[in-house]
Structure 1
Amino acid sequence: MYHPLPLRPAAALRAATLALVLAVPLTAPPAAYAEAPIKPAALRPGDTIMMIAPAGELNETRMTLAAKRLREMGFEVIVPDDLFRRRGYNAGTDEQRADELMRAFRDPDVDAIFPGTGGFGVTRMLHLVDWDVVRANPKIVIGFSDITALHLALAAKANLVTFHSPNPQWGLGSDSNLADFSAKYFWRCLLASENEEEQGFTYKLPKKNGPLVPLAPGVGEGTVTGGNLTLVAATLGTPYEIAADGKILFLEDVGEAPYRIDRMLSELRLAGKLDKLSGVVLGQFRGCEDDDDRGGLSLQQVFDDYFRGAAYPVVRNFAAGHVPLNATIPFGVPCRLDADSLTFEVLENPVSVR
């Protein structure tokens, strides 16, 4: 009879490890995506909003006006004493900005976190964030542009629903306040009074925006993710990169030449982020048309090369991001995109009503 020799300790450990690995189903989903994203509590009058500056420097006049308008709506507003600090093109050092974000998440009296503006700097401080604290204290987080990096990180590390939306400096604090269109979807997403009865809503674009433009037909459903294309591309290969499979991808940008849009879309494609989508919603990409005479591709040609004839629905010209009419999009919430009827709808309320 064959009697196997006893394994040495190191070999025994390797064998035990291999047995454990083989015992785990290879199809098990990653823990981060096994559960539905966490919806933060809806806002009610009397709740507290904290202004923060995680990216670029802030305009004190605009931020003061935004705080005044929020208080007039019945909210308490925290404006940190050092909110208007500056270090070059950032609102302070990486440590200052990360600490401010963590103060907002740790403070039990803070119900919503409003980054003042985008600009540049969020990616510089993500490694300083205590994600255990964030996961334990889910709160409303809004913003667009550079705040895309924060949206992606909150999805990857905390599984939190967040809101791609106007911000205090470029919306609530502007001379005209939020345009009616922008205000409608901002408060529809955030307020308890807007989320107690109706479930979900359909975006209705104003005539001056123009209709959605189809690039690929069909209907798709999935949670929505994305944001500013530059930031989506910049976070590839990091712990905060976008999880795109099965989702509706929203992308927008501003002031980028078509060849730069082309390069960033190619990065997404090479990373496999365009392979298994449920749909794509493209913004208006204001200022992204090349006006030189070098004979380059137009922005439409670039979009056609990547999305025309895709296996999922694709539309262009949605009003969100770096445009005057800036609809709020709840990232992490199920949506439906119909490129045949040119409709984009949110299927569930994006906040929990206490």
Structure 2
Amino acid sequence: MSQPALLSKLPDVGTSIFSVMTQLAQETGAINLAQGFPDYDPPRPLLEALARQVLTPGHQQYAPMPGLPRLRDAIAAKTARLYGHLPDPATDITITSGATEALYAVLAAVVRPGDEVLILEPAYDLYGPAVRLQGGVPVYVPLQLPDFRPDWDQVAAALTPRTRLLMINSPHNPTGAVLTPEDLDTLAALLRNTDTLLLSDEVYEHMVFDEARHSSVVGHPELRERAFVLSSFGKTYHATGWKVGYCVAPAALSAELRRVHQFVTFSVSTPTQHALADVLPLTELYDELPAFYQQKRDLFRELLAPTALRLLPVQGGYFQVADFSVLAPSVSDEDFARRLTRETGVAVVPLSAFYHNRQDHHLVRFCFAKQESTLRAAAERLARLG
């Protein structure tokens, strides 16, 4: 009996480059600086809270669909403390299975077939396919090299009456660029007389360096009225495998998000939510993150300074982009990444993976969210590059 024909909704999309490079690292024994996850444990208070909550009677069943009230209360308090805005925890905050689910649910909720969605690229590889799965049309606007700043005139030119949503990401993955308060003011002016919604991916919000402060859309009175703002406990607490995130949005927007969320995951792990609610008032756990990651950034840059890699600026997040054109001017970034993994023993991600058309600027991305010993071991291997 023959199998029925299956027409793929994403025929041009294969296995994620992050999975490919991680598998190659495992096969070759390379140090994995490709995929964005720490190789150290979450804070001890969080682990102890989870152990305690797992053993608490009644915490093994479904949590409420929008998230535990006590966790949403804690998020509201944190948001007010950091950004000067107190969202209503009952209507404006939704707990999701990572920021990934939140992002997908937002797109499924608001993007209709034929709607245009503006994406500033390079961009996280989920954005474009998730738009297309809703029947939307991704419209790509390039960030400007070498510092990956948005050209707001180009953004304005790309806006049309069909633009349903604009997606921004700060601190930015993969480049570490950070939007400023002036950027948000400019964006507000561009969107002011439109019906365009905004999705602000802020999962690296607690990793902004050199005494700068994160400029959250939640803290911008005009923008937050049209925005879904996403954050990630996995990034904040070094627990990417827990897959817990949240979305802050006005009540009307949150209601649409929840219509989808209830049919995707419905709710997120109950004991995990209780554990996060226990530790979120411990503000030092996230207040110390800028210095914690800046030290890693500075160490990694110092260790790589003797190589022929040209390191681009990093204002936030936990990724370092490097230009390898001096070393291999005629080699593609994907081939260079594979060669680096096999021959040097350090796995990286080619930056072309973050462009819809695989645009190649001879750049690769390292993750420096690693123990000092890991970074030093990687640097020793990379020293072979000269």
State the structure with more CA Rg: 1
Do they fold alike, i.e. is TM over 0.5? no
More helix by share: 2
* Structure with more contact order per residue of length (Cα contacts < 8 Å, sep ≥ 6): 2
